[in-house]
Every structure is written in C-alpha cells, then in structure tokens.
Structure 1
Amino acid sequence: MKVRQDAWSEEDDLLLAETVLRHIREGGTQLKAFDEVGDALNRTSAACGFRWNAVVRDKYEDAIKLAKRHRKERKRQMAQEAKPLSYSKPLQSVYQPTPSTPSRQPIADYMNEEKEITMQDVIQFLQQMNGKGHQESLLKQENEALKLEKQELAQKVEFLEDELKKIREEHKTIEEDYQSIIQIMNRARRMALLDEETDDRNAPAFRMDKNGNLEKIAK
C-alpha cells in the first residue's frame, strides 16, 4: 500500500513532467503516466495527478503543445504509411475542384482535428475542473475563516467599548466625590475662621497704667 507523505523534490517533478510528456508524444494517456510515476516514486496515481495539475503542468505549457503537435504528426504519418495504394494516379489528379465546387481539403482537416479529441483530453479536462473546484473550496474555507475572525474582532471591540464606558462612569463618580470633598473642606475652613474671629471679639481687653499694672478695659 502506497502511503508516502514526504514533500515533492525537483527530481520528482522532473520525472513526472518527462513521463507525462512522453506519454503525450506517444499517444498514451496521462493516467498511465501517473501510474508509471506512482510506481517509480511509491506514490498513488491520484497524488501524481494532483501534483501535475496543481503545480507542474503550468511550467510545461510550451512543452505540452509541442508534444501534442508531435503526436498529431506521428498519427498522420502512421495513417499515410497504412493507407493502401489502390490508384495508379494520385487522388488529386482524379478529383480536381472547380471554381464553383469548394475544396474538400478543409473538411478533411476539420475531421482530422475532431479526431484529436481523445479520452485523454477528456480526462485532462475533468482533472483541471477538479483542480478548479478544489481551489474554489479552499477560497470558500478561507472566506469562512475570515468571517469568523471578523465576528470575533467585533465582539472584542464591543467588549472594550463596554469596559471604556464603565471606566468613564467610574471616573465621573470619583470626580464628583472629589468635588464634594473639596466643598466640605472649604466649608469647614470658613467655619473655623468664623469661630476664631468670634473668640477674639469676646476675649477681655487689658491695658497697662502708668505704674505698670494691668487693668481690664470694659467693652
């Protein structure tokens, strides 16, 4: 059972690319290429396919086009070699299109192009769609995580606003108590000064006579 979990190296990616390109040139399927690479690297075919579509494929776009062109030319060459020679003259000499009759060559080219759509192309298209679906799933998960983080931040802001409101109310209460204490202290100070002035007015007055004796002065 293939359970390999280590990271892909540059040599692994190169082996995957060379194998897939070889299968494309020779008319094989990418699934066979993934199986071959999986056996060589002790990985599953699905892991090789995912690595190809998600990471490696974009680096070899030009090489893929060249391999497909080579496969197309190879198929045409094989078809020409297998074609029986039943005419002594070329087909072009037997049928010559007139100006009023359109040439059938574009139709033949179109049919050849249609034959290029193979099961491999269908599988490759489905794998690409699967890769896009995986990316959309990752984006959706990331959006959900951002929404949760936003909700948590909103709750924290609301909590801090409540704490700030409580602190302001406590500060206002302390300020009011402080002003009340100041008023009480000022009132007590004024009352003490009045008491001292009253005591001074009620205290007896004395004066010294010419002999040096003190005598009380009547008020």
Structure 2
Amino acid sequence: MSEKKREDSWNDEHDQLLAEVVLSHIRSSSTQLAAFEEAASKINRTAAACGFRWNKDIRKKYDNEIQLAKQNRLSYKQKSAQKEIKQVATISSVSLSADIPVEQSISYNEALHKIIKIANEQMQKYDELLQENIKLREENNELKSQKQQASPETLAQEDLDAFLQIMKRAKGLTHV
C-alpha cells in the first residue's frame, strides 16, 4: 500500500523560508515569536505551527547558522552602541532651541545652561501643581467635614429616601 501524503504537510521550501526568517530575526535582535508570525503570514500557517516546526525539526539542522546569527547580533549591538556614543559626543553641534539655527554650533556650557533653564521651568510648574494639589485636598477635607456635620434631620431624610428605594426594589422583585 502506498503512503499518503497530507496536502498541508511541510515541504523543503517552507522549511527553508522559516529558517531564513528566524535567522534574520536572530541577527537583528528580534524575537523568535516575531519571526514565527512573519513566517506564518508568508507560508499561510499559524505562528504556533511555525514555532512547533522550528523547535521540533528545523532548529537542529541550523545550529551553526544560529551561532553565526547570534554573533552577528552582538556585533550589530556593538555597532549601534558606538553609533549612539558618537551621536552623544557631537551634541555640541546640535541646536537645542528653535531660535538657534541648526548650522550654528553651540558650546557645551550653552547647552548645559539651556538644560538647567528647562529644568528650573519644570520645577516651577511642579511646585505650582503641588500647591494646587494641597489646596484641592484641603477643600476635599472641608467638604467631608461639612458632610459629617450635616443636621440630623437631613441625614434622617436621606436615610428614609434610601430605605424607601430599597423597599420599592424589593416589592418589584416579589411581583416578578
């Protein structure tokens, strides 16, 4: 009897595509889950199916490539970090304000002065908000105090109204 092959079985082309996508994601410091989702959309399968296939069958065949991809990822991270360091080092040539043209270079002291000025403005706004918060808390406490000191007649009327509402609800439940 001949062996039947499923229509939706994995083929070499699907395996190869899945491997390429996963290795690409490893190199770029992305997650394997993201790789499985990308591969799934390309080969019309679920991300779970891609993950299962990768972990069960394909990963073993690509040990060397995975190690190379991880090494590439480390060098990619190092290059990115070096690039960021260079950008930070050139901050003196960047304009921190719209009133200074980008072409005009500002010194480290000028940049620091602008940062301190912005920080002082933010501290002033924080203090204003803090004062407003204190004022609102005092108002809230005062209103709570007034409510607690309400006349007994007012409280009795509120209690009576609440009781009557409860009785109406109960009566409505018994007629259902």
TM-score, with structure 1 as normaliser: 0.36
CA radius of gyration, larger in: 1
Higher relative contact order (CA 8 A, sep 6+): 1
TM-score, with structure 2 as normaliser: 0.45
